[in-house]
Structure 1
Amino acid sequence: MQCVECVQQANKNIPTQKTQYGGRLRFGLPLMTSIFIGINIVVYLLQLIIPGFTNQLVLVPGLAAYQPWRLVTSAFAHSPSSIFHILMNMYGVYIFGVMLEPRLGRLRFAWLYLLSAVGGSLGVMLLSPANTATLGASGALAGLFLATIIFLRGNKPAVQQLGIVLALNVALGFLVSGISWQAHLCGAVAGILAAVCIVAIPRSNPQRTVIQLSLLGVLSVVIALATYLAVAAAKWTIG
C-alpha cells in the first residue's frame, strides 16, 4: 500500500517520453492537426451561411495595409464556390499532420503550421499585385510539405517521391491560373526555416528544447517584422 502523496511523487520522477524531435510523446489522433482542420471547416461553413463573410477574410494586399487581420484569416478561408478547394487542402493538412505532429509534438507542429501560413501571406504581400485576392491554406500546406522533406531526409525513397510531387506542384503553380505561387513559395520557405530550427539541434544536446524554441521565436520575430514592413510598404504605395 502507498499513500497518495507517495504515488504522486513517484509519478513526478518518471521521465517524460519524448518524440523524435523533442516534443512530449502523446498517443491518439494528432490534436493540433484536428484543431486546424476543424477551424478551416467551421470558417468554410460560416462563409456559406453568412453573406459577404468571405470578403472580410480574403487577403488583398491593398486592403491588408489597413486591415491586417486578413493576413491570418485568409489562411483559414477557402473558395465557397468550390468544395474541392477546401477538401484538397484539408486532405493535405491531414496527411502531413499525421506524419509530422507525432514526430514534433503539438507545440512545434502548431508553430510550424502558423509560421508557414503567415509566411504564405507575406509572399502575397511582397509578390502579388495590390488588387489580387488570395485565400486558402496553401501557404501552410506548402510549409508542411517542404518541412516533411527536411524531417524525412534520411528516407531516400520517400524524399524522391515527395520531390516528384513538389516538381509537379511548382509547375502547376506557374501553368494553371488561380493558384497563388507567391503563397506557395514563401510558405514553403517559412516551413523550411522552421524545420531547420528544429532539426539543427542534436538529440544529445541537454538544452535541445530551449534552443529549438528560441530559434523558432527568433524566426517568428523576423517573419513578423518582414510582414509589418510589407504592410507598411503597401500602405505607402497606396498613399
Structure 2
Amino acid sequence: MPVNRQQDLPGCARHPDRPTGLRCVRCERPACPDCLREASVGYQCVDCVAEGNKSVRPARNTGGARTRSSARSLVVVPVLVGINVLVFAITALQAGSIVENQRSDLFVQGTLIPGAVAAGEYWRLLTSGFLHFGNYGGYGPVHLVFNMFALWVIGRDLEVALGRARFLVVYLLALLGGSAAVMLFGDPMGSVAGASGAIYGLFGGIAVVVFRAKLNPAPVLTLLGINIFLSIALPGISLLGHLGGLVIGALATAAMVYAPRQNLVRFQTVACAAIAVLLVAVVVTSASTMGVHCEITSTELYSCFRV
C-alpha cells in the first residue's frame, strides 16, 4: 500500500496548508515554492528577502537622489514641455493667430517688462519663462520648437543626474536668474519672453555634472560656446537672460553635486535658498532704483522684444 509522504512534511510558514520539503537558507523555516526567491546562495523566503532589502542602501545619483532607470524617471521635463506648449496654445487662441500671439491678454500680462515689474508686477519674472513669441524670425512658432527641443535633449540627462526635485529647483532658479539679469542690466521698456534663460541654466548644469563626473567636457563646452555665439550674433536675442540663466543654473547645480555627503540635503537646501535670496535682492534693488514704471493696458507690445 503506497505511503503519502506529504503528510509527514511540515507546512509552509506562510501557507500552513501547503506541505513542503523546502526551507529558506537564511531563517530555515519551511517555505513552499511560491514563497521562495533565488538568492546568491540557495533560496530565501520572501520575508527574509524583504528584511534584507531594508538594510541595503539604495543607489544614489550625482545629486543624492535615488537612482532610477532613465526611461522611467523622466517626469519634470515632459511636464515642463507640456506646460510651455499649453501656454503657447492659449495665447494663440486668445490672439486668434499663431504668429501674433503676443497680442493675447495672457502674453501681455505675463511677458517680462522691467518697468512693469518695478510697478509691482513681480509675477512676470516667472511667467515670462513660459511664454514664446509666435512670429520670431517670421517662421511661425520656431521659438517654441527650438526651446522645447533643447529642453528635452539637455533636460532629460540632467533630470536623471540630479533627480526630479533637484532638477526642478535648478530649472526654476535658472529661469529667475535670467529674469534678474534682465532687471539689472536690461532696457526698462523692453519685452522679454521665453524659456531660454532656464535652458541655458541647464547647459551650465550639465557642464558642472560633466566636470564632477570627470568626463570629457569638450562636447558640452563646444555646444555651449556655439549657443553663446548665436546669442551674440543673432538679432532679437536676450543675451542678458541667457547669461543670467547660465550662471545661476551652474551655481545651483554645483550646490547639488558638490554638497558634502554627511550634510547633503541641508547643504543643498541652504545653498539654493541663498541663491534665491540673492536673486530676490537683485530684483528688488533693480526695481527700486530703476526710476521707470509702466503699465501695459494694450495688446500692442513694444516692438523691440527679445527672446
User: Normalization by structure 1: what TM-score?
Assistant: 0.88
CA distance in structure 1 between the partners assigned to 2:293 and 2:117 by the alignment: 11
Q: 1:228: how far off?
A: 2.1
Cα 1:227–1:24, aligned 2, differ >3 Å: closer, same or farther?
farther
Structure 1 counterpart of 2:112, one-letter code? L
Deviation at 1:12, TM superposition (A): 5.8
**Equivalent position amino acid for 1:43 in 2:** V
> Where in structure 1 are there 5+ consecutive unaligned residues?
none
Residue 178 of structure 1 pairs with residue 236 of structure 2: yes
Alignment of 1:1-239 (within 5 A): 10=51, 15-27=57-69, 28-51=72-95, 52=104, 53-66=106-119, 67-81=121-135, 82-153=140-211, 154-156=214-216, 159-202=217-260, 205-234=261-290, 236-238=291-293
1:227 is paired with a residue of what secondary structure? helix
What's the secondary structure of 1:115's corresponding residue?
helix
Range with bigger deviation, 143-152 or 62-71: 62-71
Contact (CA 8 Å) 1:22, 1:104: kept in 2 or not?
A: yes
| Cα distance in 2, alignment partners of residues 64 and 32 from structure 1 | 28
Write the distance in 2 (CA, Å) between the matches of 1:103 and 1:174: 30
Tell me by how many angstroms 1:77 deviates. Answer: 0.5
- 1:31 partner amino acid: V
Identity of aligned residues (%): 29
Give how far 1:29 is off. 4.6
- Quick one: higher RCO (CA 8 Å, sep 6+), 1 or 2? 1
Matched residues in 2 for 1:184 and 1:33: separation?
A: 19
User: CA 1:20/1:196 → structure 2, altered by over 3 Å: closer, same or farther?
Assistant: closer
Give the letter aligned to residue 92 of structure 2: L
Change (3 A) 1:214 1:39: same
CA contact (8 A) 1:33 1:93 kept: yes
Letter in 1 for 2:124: R
Cα deviations by residue, 1:4-43 (Å, 9 ceiling, x for unpaired): xx79x84765544422220133341511111111111111
**Contact 1:30/1:97 (CA < 8 Å) preserved in 2?**
no
By how many angstroms is 1:213 displaced? Answer: 2.1
Q: The residue matched to 1:59 in structure 2 has which SS?
A: coil
Partner of 2:302: none
Paired letter, 2:185: L
Range that drifts further, 39-48 or 16-25:
16-25
Give per-residue Cα distances to partners, 1:87-139, cap 9 Å, x unaligned: 11011111111111111111110000000000001111111111111100000
Q: How many residues align?
A: 231
Question: More displaced, 219-228 or 123-132?
Answer: 219-228
TM-score (norm 2): 0.70
Do the aligned residues in 2 keep the contact of 1:139 with 1:187 (CA within 8 Å)?
yes
Runs of 4+ off more than 6 Å: none
Q: How far does residue 198 in structure 1 lie from its aligned partner after superposition?
A: 1.4
Q: CA 1:221–1:2 in structure 2 vs 1: closer, same or farther (change >3 Å)?
A: farther
